[in-house]
Chains A and B, each alone.
Chain A
């Protein structure tokens, strides 16, 4: 009853503040492998002292044992009173490393060599945290598949100061990270075949060779590379260059147009095409089996496309 109640109040506090404090009881401490070796060395020293009946050697052995003992508390205190206030992660491509940004508030003295790691992933981050301040640490994670990566927990550990003991604690991670497929380079194929949904009639002109038409006021989501920096430098405000599509054509990147490749390969190719189309400022749509995104431009549109590529065929991972 009592622990349940405790947990519930703890949880409600977490929900309210959305922060997690590393409390004393939630931190585990055990000797490291080198710590066990050191204990064996101490045992040998003790044997030697007993054998030679040498009180001075006894004194040194016990002094080292005392240092070992004291280091347990130092290691433990290197983690207590750390408060994880928020964790965010930006989407990432499959062949890149994702970084979970943790906002950590240190309520105590300086922390040294604190390791952040997601269990099951080899990447880790070693960081020092300044006393009584808020730090942002970027914990790396290299995703192994596309889709949604949602690590349940993150391990915060330390073996400072002596490396003889390791203290660790787990904190819940509510954040997920969307992993886009890795872009696979290749020819840009819009393949506006009549049986596809694309309405292109002049594919040679579709390669982004659009003519400059004029300036319109910037709206969030407009591609950054279309901003008219010249106008901005004349202090006229943010404007976006618009291009005339002479044919008014749009393209559709179609799953079905890529033949003879595995599904993941197809997704990678489509990902690459989305990126290229976006870079060229084209209006593009995306057609996946059972899913279709109408042609559009801009950052938001790009993200929506990449996102549906990431989540394709993997509905259970929907965030």
Chain B
């Protein structure tokens, strides 16, 4: 195999490897091993003159690979199997790249492999990956079509082509009509489930603190509310089962009853997947389209959710849910379950109180005054978990306090429930939005009174007020702060790293909102801003015109830039001489292609032109500048001036 085709094989395998890389983390290990083995085989064949596998062997291998791929998935055909089969072909392809046509097909396969990566992840980090993979593959494509050339030059050319393809791609991207929904649906892969579960037990919130994933991002339309109002409501747990609380038995309503003042408008981009609960600032005043509202002021998405979701909301930070009494289950405590000391304490408060408000303040005073501590690592609780916590350990995280308070309130005959969600968030200065992470998870209590309806009581605010104002890390004891991940960074680079993370997050969310989230609806909105209505035929016509215009502009720019200014024009001496020759040619004294300057001078002399002396001085100067020495800039300028001022008289024909 010649050096050229060996180099082509190496480059093809390199571009295939780059296109395969992200898949290697997803697909079964044997698929990657398969590819590496086939590629190694191809290189051995090329370098060590091993026999190339024949067509029969290749087909047998391909069929075996397909069967293995199907067997791995249990003979189900979905996206994973499709990708696996593609990758198996990618592995085999370098074994048949001896003809030009085969090599071209291998390159097309590489492009196709790159696009399949994007079906799995559309994170911002994939953008630079995609661009560099396309760059490399295009450079290989150029190389295949010009094997004698140097690869660096091909890389440069491919880069330039890519650079000019980007504006075209943007034009197509913006203008290509999007449709709602997909043509047909392959089953989508499952992503990891993080976030709240439908049962709240001691430890279920504090384990989320160790998770730095983004739960959602929020953009406020006006001024953001103060931190003590940043309670993000998610689930309501209203059934106590002895140790924990369950979220059950919500009744869907068209519009939950709530009144309030000064609503706050904002947009939430929900990142965590596979969860139908929607989060909203306490207390949501509106119901987003395609969502269901429940009587406990929680929201759920109507469909299964596999991709990030964006919705606009508006909430009342101060609210009143009206005098309608709650359902009877809000009073209930299972009678056979223990915690006698806690029940006793609640009864004690009721007997000495004049109303529910007194009971609440007694409970808060109890949490304030008895040495309760806020910790991520509370001691284990026994059979009567509430009693153990209230009278023995007195160390717990927000769910311990919320759960205990709700239990106490119900024991005192006051309707109460636990709400799970997030508290606070981090403002990103680069994008002016808020990031709420899983580590901001929180639980609090709501009690009902006949004047105000349900209202929020957060016992954590009494035990660890810093949790409300300054976030998790500030509220925790110093030895536990490192566990609240991102905030635990120290050292000189921490700030730089933090800023980088925030900047990346801002770019990432911009990418998600503007590019990944560019839907049919947004497209219509964008077009209507330019007065183009896609529904009318005139609008479509205008759209086409706009597309053609923009494409034409980009093309013109490309042709203009890459026209490749003639190298001669960069040399003023050469350019001047060419101008001089053109001037004389117009006067019917053309220079023949075979004439050097001195021969030409002879012709001019023979013709006895009027301006012969000037022409002679120009040619003498040219010969000196061109062949004798590098003239000074002064000489070059005077040469240019002479040429400029040279006005030969036309020779009679």
Contacts and interface: CB of A to CB of B under 8 A. Distances in A.
A44 B165 CA distance: 19
Interface stretch (A58-66, A183-191, A292-300): A58-66
Interface stretch (B31-39, B479-487, B556-564, B627-635): B556-564
B161 A74 contact: yes
A60 B130 contact: yes
Given A60-B130, A77-B563, A163-B144, A52 B166 contact: no
Interface residues of B, number: 60
A74 B161 CA distance: 9
Contacts of B115: 45, 48-49, 57, 60-61
A58 B515 CA distance: 10
Interface string A60-93: 1111111101110110010000000100000000
Interface centre among B118, B130, B144, B184 (most CB of A within 10 A): B118
A73 B559 contact: yes
B220 to A, nearest CB: 26
A55 B516 contact: yes
A12 interface: no
A74 to B, nearest CB: 7
For the complex, would chain A's binding face be called helix, strand, loop or mixed by DSSP majority? helix
Interface stretch (A33-41, A135-143, A255-263, A273-281): A33-41
Contacts of B377: none
B104 A132 contact: no
A225 interface: no
Nearest to B178: A53
B161 A41 contact: no
A55 B518 contact: yes
B145 A50 contact: no
B82 to A, nearest CB: 10
B168 A62 contact: yes
Nearest to B516: A55
Contacts of A242: none
Given A41-B111, A66-B164, A66-B166, A109 B157 contact: no
A240 B183 CA distance: 89
Interface stretch (B134-142, B322-330, B502-510): B134-142
Contacts, number: 153
Nearest to B138: A67
Interface string B113-155: 0110011001000110010001000100110111011000010
A112 interface: yes
A59 B115 CA distance: 10
B142 A53 contact: no
Contacts of A19: 593
A100 interface: no
Contacts of A73: 555, 558-559, 562
Interface centre among A53, A131, A160 (most CB of B within 10 A): A53
A67 B515 contact: no
A86 B234 CA distance: 83
A163 B141 CA distance: 8
A160 B555 contact: no
Interface in B547-598: 551, 555, 558-559, 562-564, 566-568, 593
Contact of B516 (A41, A56, A69, A128): A56
Interface stretch (B169-177, B253-261, B342-350, B447-455): B169-177
A209 B112 CA distance: 76
Contact of B183 (A17, A50, A56, A128): A50
Nearest to B122: A56
Contacts of A77: 559, 562-564
Contact of A70 (B101, B168, B170, B517): B168
B119 A34 contact: no
Given A58-B173, A73-B555, A77-B564, A64 B145 contact: no
A161 B145 contact: yes
Interface residues of A, number: 49
Contacts of B101: 34
B126 A56 contact: yes
Interface string B453-479: 000000000000000000000000000
Contact of A69 (B108, B168, B184): B168
B134 to A, nearest CB: 6
A52 to B, nearest CB: 6
Interface centre among B112, B115, B148 (most CB of A within 10 A): B115
A34 B100 CA distance: 10
Interface in B579-625: 593
B496 interface: no
A69 B141 contact: no
Contacts of B145: 113, 159-163
A209 to B, nearest CB: 48
Contacts of B564: 77, 108-109
A41 B111 CA distance: 9
Nearest to B104: A34
B89 interface: no
A63 B167 CA distance: 9
B108 A70 contact: no
B161 A17 contact: no
Contacts of A163: 100, 104, 141, 144-145
B147 to A, nearest CB: 9
A204 to B, nearest CB: 54
Contact of B165 (A66, A107, A132): A66
A112 B149 contact: yes
Contacts of A131: 567
A201 interface: no
A63 B162 contact: yes
Given A56-B118, A60-B118, A41 B112 contact: yes
A219 interface: no
A54 interface: yes
A54 B122 contact: yes
Contact of A67 (B165, B170, B555): B165
B396 to A, nearest CB: 44
Nearest to A107: B566
A51 interface: yes
A134 to B, nearest CB: 9
B181 interface: yes
Contacts of A63: 134, 162, 165-166, 169
A206 B275 CA distance: 108
B653 interface: no
A161 B142 contact: yes
Contacts of A38: 108
Nearest to B180: A53
Given A37-B105, A73-B562, A77-B563, A112 B146 contact: yes
A64 B142 contact: no
B247 to A, nearest CB: 32
B558 A57 contact: no
B246 to A, nearest CB: 36
Nearest to A19: B593
Contact of B134 (A51, A60, A128): A60
A67 B162 contact: yes
Nearest to A67: B165
B600 to A, nearest CB: 15
B97 to A, nearest CB: 14
A55 B181 contact: no
B264 to A, nearest CB: 30
**Shortest 10 CB-CB contacts between residues of A and residues of B:** A66-B165, A66-B168, A62-B172, A62-B169, A109-B564, A163-B145, A63-B169, A56-B122, A56-B118, A132-B567
Given A74-B157, A77-B559, 17 more contacts: A17-B593, A37-B108, A41-B108, A45-B115, A49-B115, A50-B182, A52-B119, A55-B173, A60-B118, A63-B134, A63-B165, A63-B166, A70-B558, A108-B564, A112-B149, A161-B158, A163-B100
Interface of B: 100-101, 104-105, 108, 111-112, 114-115, 118-119, 122, 126-127, 130, 134, 138, 141-142, 144-146, 148-149, 154, 157-158, 161-162, 164-170, 172-173, 176, 178-179, 181-184, 515-518, 551, 555, 558-559, 562-564, 566-568, 593
9 contacts: A47-B183, A51-B183, A52-B182, A56-B516, A62-B168, A62-B173, A65-B169, A66-B172, A128-B146
